Amino acid sequence: MKWFLHLAAASIAALYLATGPASAELHVTVDQANLQPMPIAIPDFAAPSSADTVAGQNIAKVIRADLDRSGLFRPLDQKAFIEKIANINVAPQFASWRAINAQALVAGQVQSQPDGRLRVDFRLWDVFGESQMIGQQYFTTPDNWRRIAHIIADAIYERITGEKGYFDTRIVFISESGPALARKKRLAVMDQDGANPIFLTRGDYLVLTPRFNPTAQMIAYMSYIGSKPRVYLFDLESGRQEMLGNFPNMTFSPRFSPDGNKVAMSLESGGNSDIYIMDLRTRAISRLTSDPGIDTSPSFSPDGTQIAFESDRGGSQQIYVMNADGSNQHRISFLAGRNGTPVWSPRGDLIAFTNQGAGFRVGVMKTDGTGARLITNGWEDEGPTWAPNGRVIMFGRTAQGGRGSQIWSIDVSGRNERRVPTPGDASDPAWSPLIQ
Amino acid sequence: MSQSLSLTSASLSPTTARSPRVGVVFAVVLHAAVVAATLFSWRHTLEIADQSPPVIPVDLVTVGDKTNISPTVQQIVKPQDVPAPPPAASPPATPAPPPQAEAAPELAPTPQAKPAPPPQPAAKPAPAPAPTPPKPKTDAFADLLNNLTKPAATPRNARVADRTVKGAGAMNAMTMDLVDALKNQIAQCWSPPVGGPNSEQLRPQFHLQLNRDGTVVGMPQLTAQSAAEAVANPYMRAAADAARRAIMTCQPYKLPPDKYDTWRDITSLDFDPSKAVQ
């Protein structure tokens, strides 16, 4: 999406000290901006050996796609390039890149090593400043080229925007297939750009609400195995899954604590559900809420001291915040309609949520509930999840009539809404942290 | 158990909360109502059709690229076109020294140009031919001026400004223009990083020198304070880079060459994203 924002603003600028025309001091304040994606040139990575040519093309392609999807960059068409980068250790001819209005240039190189590994170098150049912004080198196995591309895209993103990237991440989601009455729901993971989708379960049982742990190696989710809805853990490394605790009644809506040592979840008992925390090392469980309403969807603040959750204790579903020990429970959502599925931003400044008014919309609010605003406008948008830098939100979207569920992403500002490619229908995405 | 299952659907999959049946029933009723209304009003419509006005044939004619039709709109002679008085005022100005030029406007309103000479009899021959033809025109011009002064009176709804800006000298207005011209040009190229934490508070500040052709001398330099902030804070570094790119991308700046002394050195060039990132 190409967006263009021209903001008019009042002029507060001139302060002229008349000490004489020749020695005058001139003070200028620029307070209007022309917000546009940054034009960036990313030629195919050079390959001294022709055997690496395809790898060089593929890596550059993934970097271009990552940066383009962020909405903050506009990768330029390679056909316009005047200079061909053959050796990245020689400074480029900046004038030829200025001529095509590239503000930054990524020059990269791919070389297969004698030991079979792939060596990837790149330099990010400031075209108008004629200086190198970063230069890095990576070694990896050739089949890992896609991750290297994401890592380079993250490095470029971080250097230019000042904040961490989110391209070297994965998404766990529910893949849906089959007719409406016999819908098959499978646990699946994929890269954040939709590549490398893997199904983790066969679809014999209904699965819901998958969540990554902080190392992105473990997934907590709810499954109806044996018609018993319970919370399970799935270890991505070993493929093993285990039921979390052995409770007589339903457990659901799990989420890891920021240190990964605990899981907060809901336990149902006699029509009432409350929020509990389980310590994964000792398996000890402690109860946090005890009112007669339905308390669910717990989500930790990034420092682990607070938990946001939803509750209908006040008559309708709303968002509350409490300390991690269950004290000081207070309502924070006052946006018209019902508000639920709170998710604390990894940055800690905002809480994303689902608002149910005329339809379902995803919104964000400050952690004290002020500044609430809806950022999507679909028929049924729900279940937000944050990119690890707290900048982008993914959510599930169902079209009017309930046909086909998809995953979409949007900038927290409400701009740059894009569909995330998935194998078939998909819902309930959860974003991993940056892969370690 | 049924209770617990209903709890699941309410809390975990709110998507099922919407019932499409109500909408379908409503749509069917509405369609039936529209069809019924059409049937009942059918005859009435036909009667109206019988009384429809006769058809008027219209020929569509293509208009040629060139036409010889003269404009029907008369040119309005603007009052400003009348003033021949400038020539009337200028003749005395040319032969006479500056002080006399000031006296000339005072003389203009008076119908008689002859009283003018007294200050300088020597200049008399020169103005003599001029006063006779422009005489009525000066009157017209004077009338015009008189008329113009009337609407200049303060309108009823005028209000006093919240504050008045006083210039620090004769150069002030010109400097304001320069500042506006420069900041508007830079703003075209400025795309600050938005969406970061407190990004509206990142205000990089530069020293800048410009060549006479509007290009930047070397690279814009961050002030000491901004440079220190950029080292400590990656967001500030990104903001400073974005501002520097704006300065470098939008050059050369179009500024009046005759005022080069004024804009050669820009003491401080500040970037304030507080309004831009909202």
ipTM: 0.79
pLDDT at B88 over 50: no
Assign residue B210 the CATH number of its domain: 3.30.1150
Lowest-confidence region among A296-305, A369-378, B34-43, B78-87: B78-87
Q: Taking the CB of residue B23, how many other CB atoms lie within 10 A of it? A: 10
pLDDT at B96 over 70: no
Write the single-letter amino acid at A419: R
pLDDT digits (tens, 9 = 90+) for A125-174: 999 889 999 999 999 999 999 999 999 999 999 999 998 999 999 999 99
Nearest to A231 by CA among A217, A216, A242, A240: A242
Q: Considering only alpha carbons, which residue of chain A is nearest residue B182?
A: A28
B242 contacts B183 by C-beta, under 8 angstroms: no
How large a percentage of chain B has pLDDT more than 90?
Answer: 23
- Chain A hits for B248, CB-CB cut-off 8 Å, are 128-129
Average model confidence (pLDDT) for chain B?
63
Of A347, A401, A413, the CB nearest to B194: A413
Of B195, B236, B277, the CB nearest to A391: B195
Residue B278 confidence (pLDDT): 57
Could you tell me if B240 lies within 8 Å of chain A, comparing CB atoms? no
Distance between CA A310 and CA A340 in Å, rounded? 5
**A289 contact partners, CB below 8 Å, separation of at least 6:** A274, A275, A295, A309, A311, A322, A326, A329
A251 contacts A265 by C-beta, under 8 angstroms: yes
Look at A360 and B15 and tell me if their CB atoms are within 8 Å. Answer: yes
pLDDT at B94 over 50: no
Task: Classify strands A104-112 and A73-75 as parallel, antiparallel or unpaired.
Answer: unpaired
Look at A33 and B191 and tell me if their CB atoms are within 8 Å. Answer: yes
Residue B103 confidence (pLDDT): 36
Residue B222 confidence (pLDDT): 94
- Chain A hits for B4, CB-CB cut-off 8 Å, are 249-250, 268, 271
Q: How far is A209 from chain B (nearest CA, A)?
A: 8
Q: Which of residues 137-166 of B touch A (CB under 8 A)?
A: none
Of B11, B172, B190, the CB nearest to A30: B190
- Chain B hits for A210, CB-CB cut-off 8 Å, are none
- Please name each of the domains of chain A with its CATH number: 38-161 (3.40.50.10070), 170-431 (2.120.10.30)
Among B241, B265, B269, pick the best mutation site for testing chain A contact (most A Cβ within 10 A): B241
Mean pLDDT calculated for residue range A347-374:
94
Would you say residue B210 lies in a domain?
A: yes
Could you tell me if B271 lies within 8 Å of chain A, comparing CB atoms? yes
How large a percentage of chain A has pLDDT more than 70?
Answer: 94
Q: How far is B29 from chain A (nearest CA, A)?
A: 19
- Within 13 Å and on the Cβ side, how many CA atoms surround A338? 19
Scan for tokens 């998404």, then name that residue: A171
Would you say residue B149 lies in a domain?
A: no
Would you say residue B211 lies in a domain?
A: yes
Q: Please give the residue that has the higher pLDDT: either A194 or B24.
A: A194
Q: Which of residues 357-376 of A touch B (CB under 8 A)?
A: 360
Q: How far is A86 from chain B (nearest CA, A)?
A: 26
Residue B47 confidence (pLDDT): 43
Distance between CA A70 and CA A63 in Å, rounded? 11
Would you say residue B23 lies in a domain?
A: no
Distance between CA A115 and CA A230 in Å, rounded? 48
Q: Taking the CB of residue A320, how many other CB atoms lie within 10 A of it? A: 22
Look at B244 and A158 and tell me if their CB atoms are within 8 Å. Answer: no
Write the single-letter amino acid at A207: V
pLDDT at B165 over 60: no
pLDDT at B15 over 70: no
pLDDT at B58 over 60: no
Q: How far is B153 from chain A (nearest CA, A)?
A: 29
Distance between CA B188 and CA B249 in Å, rounded? 9
Q: Dihedral angle at the C-alpha atoms of B164, B169, B174, B180, nearest 10 degrees?
A: -50
B230 contacts B237 by C-beta, under 8 angstroms: yes
Q: Which of A30-34, A104-108, B27-31 has the highest mean pLDDT?
A: A104-108
Residue B20 confidence (pLDDT): 61
Of B14, B184, B192, the CB nearest to A382: B14
Q: Domain total for chain B?
A: 1
A18 contacts B169 by C-beta, under 8 angstroms: yes
Look at A29 and B272 and tell me if their CB atoms are within 8 Å. Answer: yes
Mean pLDDT calculated for residue range A273-290:
94
Domain that holds residue B223: 176-191+200-270
Q: How confident is the model at residue B162 (pLDDT cuts 50, 70, 90)?
A: low
Distance between CA B235 and CA B133 in Å, rounded? 74
